[in-house]
Amino acid sequence: MTGTRGPAADLLDQLKKPRRMPRPHGPGTVRQQQLAAAVNERTAEVKPDAPQPIVLEAEIARLAQRVELDPRDVQAVALMAQRFAQLPDDQKGAAIARADGLFRRYLDHTPLLSGPLLYLAYEAFQACFIASYKGGPTEGLKAAEREHARFDFYLDLAVNGEVALVRAEAEAFIETERAALAALAETAALTAQEERLAFDTERSALQLDFQNLAHAADAAQQDATAARRERDQFEAEAKALRQQMNKLEYDTARRVRKVEGDLAGLPALTQQRDELQSRVNWLTAELSSKERGWQRRETELLARVKALELEVLEVKTRPEVAPAPAPKPARAPLPVALAQHSWVLWLRSKGHAATLDGLQVRHDLKAGEVDALQAQWRTDIPDAEAALAQLRAVIVPLLRGAAA
């Protein structure tokens, strides 16, 4: 079977070329730039009311220019986007939210901008639906915002379901290529060596595709795990904040109750204060009255002492001839009041605590000490003159101090 080359030989030549996998960033190949320029020209020539697939092709070409993809991958994405574009209206909002949220999370957590078909498909669906949903991009964005609250559910659905969907699409595409290759081989009577070469090339491509799909699935699973970890961390922080808020509310309520209790007891405290103030005023008045009585009694005692001194002086200065000394008569007892004052002053001079309450002497002596001390006091103060001298020795310095 030699001679003119047919479609099968051209297809084999294409399969022999190594497939170029996507790169995370880059301006794209010259062929992709040309493809994008051509699609943009077609888009510019189309009227505003042109069918939606033209917009889809322009978006895919724009993405292909930014990320190097195989043309067969671009075609597969276009088929998938068209199939999603045929979803009912009540399912398009969910697809937009799923594509938008998952694609943005992949941009944050993976170094690959687009994997084998999956990431590019999400962005293509997003651009297509936002441009065509209910009359324009504004309505599409509103629908995406309404559905974005269900992001967690769609994240799990996309990670677990879309990878399998892409894998099924790839397997179907591979089966289609294998069937076409078999048909071309039968019609062109390919040799066994050409068939083996085609099989090896296809097997290598398939293995590479499945490896890329496996890497994409692993990356998606890792991103989902990171998302759940972030959600758990956020819930833990929210729980800690709620506990702090509850503690603050409890402390505030306890303080409010304490203040209310203090305010409730304020009238009783005010009344008690008034009663204490009244008692203090009464005690002050009593003390002032007693002080005035003491001063009056002290004045009377000083007057009596002065009179007694004058009487004694008069007796001493009389020009009478003193009779012959007679035997001293027995000493007369001291007056009660003068004796009580002398007894108190004598106890104080000996370091004892003694006070005079009326005619009652209060002291700190024990029962056995009173008689012995009184006998000593009668020896020291035998008569009224000695008692008066004792009072004079105490009162005169007090008067001088008050006058000064």
Q: Is residue 252 part of a domain?
A: no
Asked if 362 and 289 count as a contact pair (C-beta separation under 8 A), the reply is no
CA atoms of 167 and 340, how far apart (whole Å) = 125
Q: What average pLDDT does the segment 124-136 reach?
A: 51
Q: What is the pLDDT of residue 11?
A: 42
Report residue 381 CA to chain centroid gap. 86
Do 297 and 235 belong to one domain? no
Cβ(15)–Cβ(204) below 8 Å: no
In a domain, 250, yes or no: no
Per the structure, how many domains does the chain have?
Answer: 2
Tell me, yes or no, whether 141 and 203 share the same domain: yes
**200 and 300 assigned to the same domain:** no
Of 239, 270, 285, at which residue does a domain stop? 239
231 with 357, same domain: the answer is no
Residue 13 lies in a domain: yes
Q: Are residues 32 and 98 in the same domain?
A: yes
In tens, the pLDDT along 300-321 reads 888 888 877 777 777 777 665 4
How far apart CA 398 and CA 384 sit, in angstroms, is 21
pTM of this prediction?
A: 0.22
H-type helices in 317-383, by residue range? 336-349, 370-380
In a domain, 195, yes or no: yes
Residues 54 and 173 in one domain: yes
**How confident is the model at residue 7, as a pLDDT?**
46
Sequential DSSP letters for 297-337: HHHHHHHHHHHHHHHHHHHHT--SPPPPPPPPPPPPPPPHH
291 Cα distance to chain centroid = 67
Chain segment 49-58, per-residue pLDDT in tens: 433 444 445 5
Range of the domain at 81: 7-239
Residue (of 164, 246, 157, 185) closest to 15 by Cα position: 185
Q: Comparing 68-72, 223-227, 265-269, 396-400, which segment has the lowest mean pLDDT? A: 68-72
Q: Which amino acid type is present at position 276?
A: L
Taking alpha carbons only, the member of 83, 165, 68, 169 closest to residue 129 is: 83
Q: Say whether both 299 and 219 belong to one domain.
A: no
Percent of the chain having pLDDT more than 90?
A: 0
Confidence of residue 106 (pLDDT cuts 50, 70, 90): very low
Distance between CA 317 and CA 88 in Å, rounded? 146
Q: Where are the alpha helices (DSSP H) in 110-191?
A: 118-132, 137-147, 151-157, 163-188
Q: How far apart are the C-alpha atoms of 214 and 118, rounded to whole Å?
A: 12
Do 139 and 133 touch, CB atoms closer than 8 A?
yes
User: Residue 82 in contact with residue 56, Cβ under 8 Å?
Assistant: yes
Residue 247 lies in a domain: no
Quick one: pLDDT band at residue 279, thresholds 50, 70, 90? confident
Strands 360-363 and 354-357: antiparallel
**So what's the pLDDT on residue 370?**
80
Choose the final residue of a domain: 177, 211, 239: 239
Task: Report the candidate in 228, 355, 342 with the shortest Cα–Cα distance to residue 294.
Answer: 355
Residues 391 and 305 in one domain: yes
**In this predicted structure, which of 259-273, 292-306, 382-396 has the lowest mean pLDDT?**
382-396
The average pLDDT across 243-253 equals 87
Element (H, E) at 356: strand 354-357
| 290 compared with 333, residue with greater pLDDT | 290
Is residue 244 in some structural domain? Answer: no
Residues 21 and 163 in one domain: yes
Residue 214 has pLDDT above 60, yes or no: yes
